[in-house]
Every structure is written in structure tokens, then in C-alpha cells.
Amino acid sequence: MRELDVVGPQLAVLLAAGAVLAWDALAPPRRAALPWIALAGLAGAAAWTTAWAVRGDFGEAFEGTFSIDAFSVFFQYVFAGVTAIVVIASIDWVEREGRRQSEYYALVLTAAAGLMFLAGARDLITIFLALELSSIPQYALAGWGKDRRSGEAGVKYLLLGAIASALLLYGMALLYGFSGSTLLTDIAAAVAERGADNRSLLAAASVLLIAGFGFKMAVVPFQMWVPDVYQGAPTPVAAFLSVGSKAAAFAVVMRLFFEGLGEEFLSDDWAMIFAVVAAVSMTLGNVLALVQRDIKRMLGYSSIAQAGNFMIGLAAVAVAGERFVAGASGVLLFVAAYAFTNLGAFIAVIAISRRTGSDEIASYAGLWRRAPLLALALAFCLVSLAGIPPTAGFWAKLYVFNAGVRADLVWLVIVGVLNSVVSAYYYLAVVRRMFLGEAEDERRLPVAPTVALALGVATLGVLVFGIVPMPLVAAAREAAAVFAGG
Amino acid sequence: MTLTLEHFLTVAALLFCLGLVIALSKRNAVGMLMGIELMLNAVNLTLIAFSRFGSGGGAVAGHAFTAFVITVAAAEAAVALALAVSVYRSRQTVEVDQLDLLKL
């Protein structure tokens, strides 16, 4: 059946979630197999997605509420890859934690299925359900750790996330009231037909939607949860949150705003909002990251600044209709590059803090002599986050800034470049400390093989796309063309 | 006086703002959750009002949306209360401003 074929990748992931739970109930002594069942499900999802990509027989399903196209394929790959790396990096931590292992993987997989549904959702109800399917497991995961701070992070994340969902829903309800339909295509038609007479209603809806998604994307002024949750949540979960839900929010914002609310008179309104949010997020995130002493909090603030970089691309698309593809593909490229880079950084932190028992940046001094490969990988990811060649982060920044310049948002790009300089300072400060600092304790740090594998995959991704960016650029361009064409 | 769409929307907007104020000002996690429920119910009222008074064939979508919102709200509340219980066990409080381990 075509319908089942379309959501096959998502079903594979959900099936794996069920299989993980069943395996734990049926064969409890063989818990070591759990993560590999999860990985098998993700591999199945990736294979199914590849089958779609090869066939190229794209289209809609479920009465137009869900679509499979180059855009959703791109994001399904990103989410499957991100989740797989997170699962591998979790193995060591979950085993050590020792309790309720199957539930942990089941929740991660359920959240991943939600993210993958988001990639193709073209209907307000579908978007809402997919968003909650990915969010609710993440709330539970944030409160998973035994540490008291973890429970606190979970409660904070859930309460603020629920407020954001309510704002988002109110915006969706207004859109539904205006157009009489929840399909993005119908909304686009209604906006084109009588949107000009209802500008204030649509503006209110847009503001509510941006507020709701702004929380997921972690942009100013909806960023206050980020450092607390990243610091308190278990590190593998923080890695997942920082990449998965952020990328998904950008995917759905692109769909919703460019497909549903893409009319020119509207895009002028929200282009300004996007540009201002981008500038403020970059500046505030970077300035606050400068003064952090805890590396997870630093990465939290830096991810707020990175979200600002994404937003430059969104603003560029909104301003320059016909140059659509440059901006949108810049955002997609940034999503992919950021996913690998940030995951790599977080996994390195997992490996280090597990052994040293500290997240203080000061404890990274002299890491080069204690764990050379680990230090090298972390340094490489931080250099990529700063946007210095030859890394994937460099190309991502280049494309986004280029799109900004071509959309006449020169002021925004200048703010972005200045911010890159500021960010390079604190990223490289960590690198300098690792390589030139004096370690208090000269003993070697052992690294769990699974963590090393996850870190290796992520870092290799950053390096390969840094040296040969063209395949990724082509994929991003093709995915972005979905909006330009129709 | 007959009830029109505007009446329903006004009530819903007031409820939503009320819920938002409660959610942002309450210092107790369970109290915040109640505010959030109020916001979600205001959204449901809006959806149903649009569905009842709106034109076109999208009336059912509003009902379906509401049913989903109610379901998701229940799931969210279940996780929220579970987290609140787990925090209460270790801290003996669910006052949000006393949950301050995560500060600089």
C-alpha cells in the first residue's frame, strides 16, 4: 500500500521501539542487544528512505497531510543519522546507569519517529502531533538521570515546552479559523485569495507560531531553558535535544512559512522578525557563552548563537523570493553540518566528563596529553562550530552568509561575521586550554569503544563534508528546490 | 441577543491570557500545569467555535484537532506529574523557584 510505503521509515523506527521493549521483557539477561536493535531500526529507516530517494516517485499521501519529497528525504537522513550516533554514544552511559535500559532506547526511538514525521508533515494537525510525539519523550529523557539536577531539568523543560505548545496551538487555531482548513496548501490558497484583508489576524497567528517554534529552535527570547536543560539533562540526551529538536523545528518552520504563508506581503512582515531574532540570538548567545565555566552551559549558549545563524538563512529566503534556493539550501546545509559538529562536541564531552567527573572547562587543561585523539576530535568540532576551514561548519556559514548578502541583508551578515569572531574566541579558548594547559592529573583517560565510534563517525562527517562539501550542497539544493518549484 | 463567533473568540482569548498569566506567575509546578491546561482548553474553544461558525468543508478538521489536543494534553500531564513526583521525592518541593541547582 502506498500510504504505508510513504511512512515506512517512521514505522521502522516505531517498530524498533516496540521490539526494544519486547526484547527486554522476553530476554532480560541479553540487555546488551538493545542498542543494536535500535540501530537496526534506524538502519531500516535509512534504507527505506534511500529506496524512496532512488525511485524519486515523490508525492503526497494521507489526503495531502503528509508528503514525501526531496526535502523530507533530506531531513529523514539527518534524523536517522543523528539518532544513530546518539544511540551509539549512549550505550556506555546507559549501561553504567543500569536501570530501565529498554525504556531509554524506546523513548529515543519514539522521539526520532516524531522528528521524522515532522519532516514530511503538511497539515497543522499532523505537525502538532509529530511535534508532541518528539517532545514528550524528550521531556521524559531530560529527567532520566539519577542526578537531582536531571529531574529539575525535566520539569523545567516540560513546563516551558508545554507553554510553547499552547502558544503554537493558538496560532494554528487562528490559521484554521481564517482558512477553514488545516492543510498547508489550502491555507496558502486562502492567504492568496483574501489574506490582504486579514493582515492583522495573520500577523497575530505568525507571531504565535514563531513564539512556539522559537522555543524549539532555542532562539532569543525563548532561550532561557537551554543552558539549564543542557546542563541538567544526561549528556547524551542533551546532545539529542541540541540537534534533533532544533533541526526539526527549522524543517517545520520552513514548510509552514514558505509553503503555507509564503505570500509576498506576509513574508515582508516575518522577514523582519526573523532578521531581528537572528541578530539578537547570535549576540546574546555568544556574549553569555564567553563567561561560562561549565562546558555544557557553554555549548548551550553557543547553540543559541548557532540558531541565530540558521535564522539568517530563513530571513534571506523571506526577503528574496526568487533567490529562494540559495537561502533555503544554506539553512539545510547548516542543519546538516551543525548536526554532526554539535553531536561530535557533545560526545567528546560525554567521554571526558565520564572519566574526569567534571564538566568544568578548567578540567580540560592538558587534555592533549591525557587523551590525544579525544582532544583532537573535540578541537576539530569546536573549530567547525567557529566556522573555520577545512570543516563542514565553514561551508555552512559561508553559504548562509552568502545568501544573506544576496538578499540585501548586509547589516545582518556583518552582525553574523562579528559574532563569529566573538565565538571563535571562546571555542578556541577551550582548544588552547586542552593543548597548552597544564593538567593536574597526568594519567591517561580511557575511552569506551562505543563512545569512540560515535565520536569518530561525527568527526569524520565534519571532516569529509569540510573537504568535499559538494555532495551535501547538491543534496541541500535539491531539497530546497521543493519550495521554489511548487 | 444571539451568540456569535465573536463572543466565543473573546471568551477563548480571555481564557488563554488568563492561563498564560497563571502559567508564568505561579511558582508551583502543578499550578503552572493548571495554567497550561487552561490555555489548551482556550485553544479547543477557539477551534470548536471556528468549526461551528466557519464555512466550507473543514468543519470536521476542527473537531478532530480538538480531540487530538485533548489527548495530547492528557499525555503531557501524565509525564509532567510523573516528573513532578520524582522531583518531589528527592527535593520535598515542587516550588519552581526552589529548584535552583541549575544556576551559574
Q: 10-residue block means of pLDDT along chain B (104 residues)? A: 86 94 88 93 93 74 92 93 86 68 51
Q: What is the pLDDT of residue B86?
A: 85
| A474 to chain B, closest Cα gap in Å | 38
Q: What is the pLDDT of residue B104?
A: 40
CB-CB under 8 Å, A159 with B87: no
Number of helices (H) and strands (E) in chain A: give both, helices first. 21, 2
Return the SS3 of A10. Answer: helix
Q: Could you tell me if residue B36 is inside a domain?
A: yes
**Residue A92, CA atoms < 13 Å, CB-side half-sphere:** 21
ipTM of the predicted structure?
A: 0.93
Q: Which residues in B lie closer than 8 A to residue A179 (C-beta atoms)? A: 58
Query: Could you give the CA distance from residue B31 to residue B58 in angstroms, rounded to a whole number?
Result: 35
Q: Which residues in B lie closer than 8 A to residue A173 (C-beta atoms)? A: 43, 46-47, 50, 65
- Calculate helix-pair angle for A101-120, A8-26, nearest 10 degrees: 170
Q: What is the pLDDT of residue A486?
A: 43
Q: What is the pLDDT of residue A194?
A: 81
- Calculate helix-pair angle for A372-386, A392-406, nearest 10 degrees: 0
Q: What is the pLDDT of residue B58?
A: 65
CB-CB under 8 Å, A158 with B96: no
Query: Could you give the CA distance from residue A339 to residue A397 in angstroms, rounded to a whole number?
Result: 14
Query: Could you give the CA distance from residue A380 to residue A449 in angstroms, rounded to a whole number?
Result: 19
For the record, the C-alpha cell of A389 comes out as 576551514
Query: Could you give the CA distance from residue A251 to residue A247 in angstroms, rounded to a whole number?
Result: 6
Residue A176's contacts (CB-CB under 8 Å, 6 or more residues apart) are A124, A182, B47, B50, B58, B61, B62, B65
Q: Could you tell me if residue B67 is inside a domain?
A: yes
- Give the CATH number for residue B90: 1.10.287.3510
Q: Closest residue of A to B76, CA-based? A: A136
Q: Which residues in A lie closer than 8 A to residue B54 (C-beta atoms)? A: 177, 180
Q: How long, in residues, is chain B?
A: 104
Stretches where chain A sits below pLDDT 70 are 264-266, 321-324, 484-486
Domain count along chain B: 1
pTM: 0.92
Number of helices (H) and strands (E) in chain B: give both, helices first. 3, 0
CB atoms within 10 A of CB A21: 17
Of A154, A166, A181, the CB nearest to B36: A166
CB atoms within 10 A of CB A7: 19
Q: Which residues in B lie closer than 8 A to residue A151 (C-beta atoms)? A: 83, 86-87, 90-91
Interface test mutation site (partner A, options B6, B11, B26, B87, max chain A beta carbons within 10 A):
B87
Q: Closest residue of B to A167, CA-based? A: B39
Q: Could you tell me if residue B78 is inside a domain?
A: yes
For the record, the C-alpha cell of A144 comes out as 532520566
For the record, the C-alpha cell of A446 comes out as 580511557
What is the DSSP pairing of strand A66-68 with strand A59-61? antiparallel
Residue A301: exposed, middle, or buried by beta-carbon count in 10 A (0-12, 13-18, 19+)? Answer: buried
Of A152, A163, A297, the CB nearest to B101: A152
CB-CB under 8 Å, A132 with B29: no
**Can you give the residue range of the structural domain that contains B53?**
5-98
CB-CB under 8 Å, B84 with A129: no
Q: What is the pLDDT of residue B100?
A: 61
CB contact at 8 A, A415 and A283: yes
| B40 to chain A, closest Cα gap in Å | 6
| B2 to chain A, closest Cα gap in Å | 20
Residue A205's contacts (CB-CB under 8 Å, 6 or more residues apart) are A171, A172, A174, A175, A178
Q: Which residues in A lie closer than 8 A to residue B32 (C-beta atoms)? A: 159
Residue A337: exposed, middle, or buried by beta-carbon count in 10 A (0-12, 13-18, 19+)? Answer: buried
Q: Could you tell me if residue B104 is inside a domain?
A: no
Q: What is the pLDDT of residue B10?
A: 93
CB-CB under 8 Å, A124 with B65: yes
